Amino acid sequence: MTVESITLAELVVHRGAVVHELYDAGTEPDTTLISWSTAKSVTHALVGIAVRQGLLELDAPAPVPEWAGDERRTITLRQLLNMRSGLRFVEDYVDDSISHCIDMLFGSGKDDVAGYAAALPLEHPPGSVFNYSSGTTNIIARMIGQAVGGGEAAMRAFMTEELFGPLGMTSADPRFDDAGTFIGSSFLYCTARDFARFGELYLADGVWDGRRILPEGWVDFARTPVPVPPDEEFGYGAHWWLWDSHGFPGTFAAHGYEGQYIIVCPDRDLVVVRLGKTPVEVRPPVIRRLEELLSSY
């Protein structure tokens, strides 16, 4: 069987202007497309806003009720953002017999994704081991929701008023579970142009039209590397992947299942967005194409 790779949208913003844009497979500029895990980087932005407003603290124990009476109570928000919480979570997108991710999003955990993830045990001391986990992000998303008032309506208002509205991301369509938690690991729909707007926020160090959206130092936090296993193709910071090993120092990106990318390259004043349907086994040509785009400007 031939494994096919489909590019739905490809967009380049250079020095504040769209200089390259293409669509395929029936997709148009106003088509909203799924984020998959690029939503994790949006969750990072929402945490930053909550931290700036004094609603959350990076280095305090994370306010997770399920952990109050055991060793998990020492896990911090910083450790969660760095994917170094120590919690058990199997991030597998194929084998539903072992995958916490599939079970959380589509199985027994789908009605309360954060509750599902928060119930899992500690497997390593907090801060000691990197483990990329969609469950971790959904715990964080619930924390933000509780901090801004609780429930879907309060979280939607916060996202719109503090992030999507100021950036002009009018197409942004976040999805929630039945517990009222933004599924911040995976489910945000936007046009390619609006995903690019989000990338431009990080390119501008968290400032938009003269207004500081993210706290000072938050973008640097996103791209400050943490130790990752040697078999990881990319480095990792805080809910953002790092492209230094691919020859682009200081470049960082939101990555998503099926080959979604929002790449921020400060040295070249560049944001590259690619959205598609590309299985992991045919991902290398997509990476090469993105490297070509980054090198072209």
Q: Using CA atoms, how far apart are residues 100 and 135, in angstroms rounded to an integer?
A: 8
Q: What's the pTM value of the predicted model, to 2 decimals?
A: 0.96
| Domain extents in the chain | 6-295
Q: Using CA atoms, how far apart are residues 255 and 263, in angstroms rounded to an integer?
A: 8
* Architecture of the structural domain at 6-295: 3-Layer(aba) Sandwich (3.40)
Give the 3-state secondary structure of residue 121: coil
Q: Using CA atoms, how far apart are residues 68 and 83, in angstroms rounded to an integer?
A: 20
Q: Using CA atoms, how far apart are residues 239 and 254, in angstroms rounded to an integer?
A: 8
**pLDDT digit of tens for each residue in the chain (297 aa)?**
567 899 999 999 999 999 999 999 789 999 999 999 999 999 999 999 999 999 999 999 999 999 998 999 999 999 999 999 999 988 878 776 778 989 999 999 999 999 999 999 999 999 999 999 999 999 999 999 999 999 999 999 999 999 999 999 999 999 999 999 999 999 999 999 999 999 999 999 999 999 999 999 999 999 999 999 999 999 999 999 999 999 999 999 999 999 999 999 999 999 999 999 998 889 999 999 999 999 999
